[in-house]
Amino acid sequence: MSVTQTQNGNKPIALTRYAMLSIGAALITIVLKTIAYLLTDSVGLLSDAMESIVNLVGAVIALSMLVIAAMPPDDSHMYGHSKAEYFASSAEGILILIAAAGIMWAAIGRLISPRPLEELGVGLVISAAASLVNLVVARILIATGKKHNSITLESDGQHLMTDVWTSVGVIGGIALVAVTNWNVLDPVLAILVALNIIWTGIKLLKRSVSGFMDASLPVEEQKILEDVIAIYQERGVQFHAVRTRQSAAKRFVSVHMLVPGAWSVHDAHHIAENFEGDVRSQLKDAVVYTHLEPIDDEISMQDVHDK
């Protein structure tokens, strides 16, 4: 069996600076949104501020998990520590749900006993400034997460983007309250915000659980692997027991390669090395396992899962 892997162990460490950026954005928005809430007494703006606190906790968790994910393999973790990123996205999903519950609680109380809002103009301007900070940072985190296949950064960015849309809705609603004087709109908006946050949290948890369960690579990436396999099938090589899995930023591929029995070990090994190199060139950060077998051996097509 041949095992090869791209060496890029320092990448998660390099990504920690983006987690630091997220922490800085969370601190700024917490201060701004808290000021906006204190000025207006709006439960909608309070819900916005609470979500920023969750952003801060999530960013701190993301930073710690990225540091752990960067640790090299050891005797107890032969495949590395990349799955630590799923702990970060799971924790963030849970925190989002907790924040939504808190928002719901505050909103229902205000719905029962509405109160007039104050200093709406200044409060909305401050909240808008905080949302602009989140928008810029969210776009950076999402783009970086997709580029480096980091579920931690991508989930953190998606969380911030949810906060942006939440803020847009809250600001628009509070502006409507100012025009119509319908104070009941404030808690109604907060409840809608909470429902949107719950949906985001569920999606994050679903993706994290999928990662813990060693889900296969996405369909489009499996198609890339199939295209590489097809090239070698034209050269007389057959394949079976093709398996893939995703572990945060790492991809794992294992295949059984069946080659003509007349081939020398030297020739078969070089074909396997070429195949692994082609897979890695198409699927970055892939760990590729190949097991060579002779085509003319009747037991070669047997798989351990068939027994």
pTM for the structure as a whole: 0.57
pLDDT band at 9 (very low <50, low <70, confident <90, very high): very low
172 has pLDDT over 60: yes
Superfamily of domain 219-306: Cation efflux protein, cytoplasmic domain (3.30.70.1350)
Measured distance CA(248)–CA(285) in Å, rounded? 11
In this structure, are residues 213 and 247 in contact, taking their beta carbons and an 8 Å threshold? no
142 has pLDDT over 50: yes
Query: Domain ranges in the chain?
Result: 2-212, 219-306
pLDDT band at 136 (very low <50, low <70, confident <90, very high): very high
Per-residue pLDDT of 189-210, as tens digits, reads: 778 877 877 887 787 787 777 7
CA pseudo-torsion sign 192, 193, 197, 200: positive
Token couple for 234: 């034209």
Nearest to 87 by CA among 78, 77, 95, 75: 95
On whether the 2-212 domain is CATH 1.20.1510.10, my answer is yes
pLDDT, the chain, mean: 78
pLDDT band at 94 (very low <50, low <70, confident <90, very high): confident
User: Would you state the pLDDT for residue 1?
Assistant: 43
Residues 6+ apart with CB under 8 A from 257: 232, 237, 238, 239, 268, 271, 272, 275, 290, 291, 292, 293
